């Protein structure tokens, strides 16, 4: 029987296009210090540090965690880096939680970050490989054909993506940490923004951000002294699948479906749409909201767009999605997954301020990465499992 794990401290940075006021370790410390303050703990209370970030090529620094252990108070303690491409922020939290659940540590600091301004992720994602024509222009170039495939399969109304983007951009205005805020943004502004990777428009795309996120995870016993109600981890799950095989459904990947099924089973959830009160989902391009609604079993295949259309995923809907403004509003890649997990925990702790879903008791955090091949998820609750 696994030990219980609670989130007792959460911190995130001010996310922005260029945080030139801090170094990369400084950025991490900003988030970590806030998480420690939230937990009313100090660096010496931490038993181990688990860090995550996206591929090293994105910033051009190999194994930055080697140089950062000191800044993260890890001297004399275990430090471990997790790496699962864009889903890394989520899988980092899952690995950190497992150290508590296994009874190995009482308090683990988990952090994730990206300082996109220090290099060029678009360049890093536009590599030439010898057995493929060099035409995949960044993540948008990879995912746009999959979005077109979803549109053709589902016959969703063409403005679904615009509606998702507008919702998330309005939500971001309620999140003090969000990077991209467009006061007065409306449907026409999103619709008229230029196509970057047709069918993806500029305002349907995530920004490039500098930012970090941190959480202090605690055992049940150590959480007794927590000043604020913890978010209890009900279940975690991770799955992967190969990038290329014949018949692979990249629009609705099997690994995502399997990951969600395992997550709900472990948490005793039989009707996710009804039992989950808020979800923070990795949506780097607006159309991924309906796609993931289906993949996560919130909607039947081909009908995810109806949730957006009916307002079900709005802040006042029956399953509010990305109340924080999501990845569309802040995208420090390595931290983006952990922000989803942390925002889910903030919801069940009642800490989400203006973007709080009233009375949220169970929330889902989700991250995906690579060519839609790595998935990490957790469900957190206000009550102990």
Partner 1 sequence: MSEAESELVQSITTPLRLEYQYTAGVASTRFLRGMADGKILGQRCPQCEKVYVPPRGSCARCGVATDLEVQVPGTGTITTFCVVRIPSDSLDIDPPFVAAHILLDGADIPFFALIQECHFDEVRMGMRVEAVWVDAEDLGPTFESIRYFRPIDEPDAPFESYKEHL
Q: Does 55 bind partner 1 (CB under 8 A)?
A: no
CB nearer to partner 1: give 80 or 191.
191
Binding region for partner 1 (CB under 8 A) out of 39-47, 149-157, 219-227, 330-338: 149-157
Minimum separation from the CB atom of position 136 to partner 1 (A): 6
Contact between 144 and partner 1 by CB under 8 A: the answer reads yes
Token duo for residue 199: 């069918």
User: Least distance (Å) from partner 1 to the CB of residue 202?
Assistant: 9
C-alpha 146, offset from chain centre: 20
The answer to whether 378 and 341 are in contact (CB under 8 A) is yes
Options 32-40, 121-129, 265-273, 293-301: segment touching partner 1 (CB under 8 A): 121-129
Site membership for partner 1, residue 71 (CB under 8 A) = no
Q: Enter the tokens of residue 172.
A: 């971001």
Interface residue with partner 1, options 44, 132, 270, 271 (CB under 8 A)? 132
Give the nearest distance from C-beta 85 to partner 1 in angstroms: 17
Judged by beta carbon, residue 177 or residue 197, the one nearer partner 1 is: 197
Interface segment toward partner 1; rule CB under 8 A; list 6-14, 32-40, 195-203, 220-228 = 195-203
The only residue of 67, 75, 102, 152 in contact with partner 1, by rule CB under 8 A: 152
* Size, binding site for partner 1 by CB under 8 A: 45
Strand pairing report for 278-280 and 362-369: parallel
H or E element that contains 32: helix 24-39
The number of beta carbons lying within 10 Å of the beta carbon of residue 290 is 30
Q: Which residue from 71, 80, 149, 173 is in contact with partner 1, where contact means CB under 8 A?
A: 149
Binding to partner 1 (CB under 8 A): which residues in 294-333?
none
Q: Which of the stretches 78-86, 131-139, 165-173, 215-223 binds partner 1 when contact is defined by CB under 8 A?
A: 131-139
Choice from 55, 78, 157, 199 touching partner 1 (CB under 8 A): 199
User: Among 93, 162, 168, which residue's Cα sits nearest to residue 322?
Assistant: 168
| Using rule CB under 8 A, residue 184 touches partner 1 | no
Rounded Cα distance, 113 and 29, in Å: 10
Measured from the CB atom, is 140 or 272 closer to partner 1? 140
Label residue 102 exposed, middle or buried (CB < 10 Å: 0-12, 13-18, 19+): exposed
**158 touches partner 1 by CB under 8 A:** no
Report the C-alpha gap between 75 and 110 in whole angstroms: 15
* Dihedral sign from CA coordinates of 92, 97, 102, 107: positive
Q: How far apart are CA 318 and CA 172, in angstroms?
A: 19
Per-residue CA distances from 103 to 3, 108, 381 (Å) = 6, 11, 20
What is d(CA 378, CA 32) in angstroms, rounded to the nearest whole number? 21
70, 102, 103, 123: which one contacts partner 1 (CB under 8 A)?
Answer: 123
Closest C-alpha among 162, 201, 206 to residue 185: 162
Backbone φ, ψ for residue 146 (5° rounding): -70, -35
Q: Which of 247, 270, 271, 316 binds partner 1 (CB under 8 A)?
A: 247
Nearest approach, Cβ of residue 55 and partner 1 (Å): 13
Residues 313 and 320 sit within 8 Å (Cβ to Cβ): yes
Please select the residue that binds partner 1; options are 148, 181, 266, 273, rule is CB under 8 A. Answer: 148
222 HSE (CA, 13 A, CB side): 25
122 lines the binding site for partner 1 (CB under 8 A): yes
Q: Using CB under 8 A as the criterion, which residues of the chain lie in contact with partner 1 when the complex forms?
A: 20-21, 60, 120, 122-123, 126-128, 130-138, 140-141, 144-149, 152-153, 194-200, 242-251
């Amino acid at each position: 029987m696994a030990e219980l794990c609670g989130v007792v401290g959460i911190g995130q940075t001010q996310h922005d296009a260029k945080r030139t006021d801090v170094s990369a370790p400084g950025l991490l410390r900003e988030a970590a210090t806030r998480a420690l303050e939230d937990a009313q703990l100090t660096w010496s209370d931490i038993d181990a540090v688990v860090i995550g970030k996206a591929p090293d090529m994105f910033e051009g620094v190999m194994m930055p965690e080697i140089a950062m252990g000191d800044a993260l108070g890890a001297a004399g303690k275990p430090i471990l880096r997790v790496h699962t491409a864009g889903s890394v922020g989520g899988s980092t939290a899952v690995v950190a939680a497992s150290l508590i659940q296994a009874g190995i540590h009482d308090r683990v600091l988990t952090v994730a970050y990206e300082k996109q301004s220090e290099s060029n992720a678009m360049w890093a994602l536009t590599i030439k490989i010898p057995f493929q024509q060099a035409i995949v222009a960044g993540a948008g170039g990879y995912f746009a054909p999959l979005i077109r495939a979803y549109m053709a399969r589902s016959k969703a109304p063409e403005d679904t993506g615009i509606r998702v983007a507008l919702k998330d951009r309005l939500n971001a205005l309620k999140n003090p940490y969000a990077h991209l805020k467009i006061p007065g943004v409306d449907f026409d502004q999103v619709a008229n923004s230029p196509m970057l990777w047709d069918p993806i428009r500029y305002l349907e795309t995530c920004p490039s951000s500098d930012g970090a996120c941190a959480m202090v995870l605690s055992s049940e016993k150590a959480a007794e002294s927590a000043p604020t109600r913890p978010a209890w981890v009900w279940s975690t799950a991770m799955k992967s699948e190969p990038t290329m095989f014949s018949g692979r459904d990249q629009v609705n990947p099997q690994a995502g479906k399997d990951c969600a099924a395992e997550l709900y089973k472990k948490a005793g959830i039989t009707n996710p749409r009804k039992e989950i009160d808020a979800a923070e989902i990795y949506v780097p391009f607006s159309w991924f909201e309906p796609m993931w609604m289906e993949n996560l079993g919130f909607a039947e295949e081909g009908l995810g767009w109806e949730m957006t259309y009916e307002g079900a995923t709005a802040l006042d809907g029956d399953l509010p999605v990305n109340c924080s403004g999501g990845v569309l509003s802040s995208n420090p890649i390595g931290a983006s997954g952990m922000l989803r997990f942390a925002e889910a925990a903030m919801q069940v702790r009642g800490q989400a301020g203006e973007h709080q879903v009233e009375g949220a008791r169970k929330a889902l955090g989700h991250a995906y990465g690579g060519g839609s091949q790595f998935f990490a998820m957790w469900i957190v609750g206000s009550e102990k499992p």
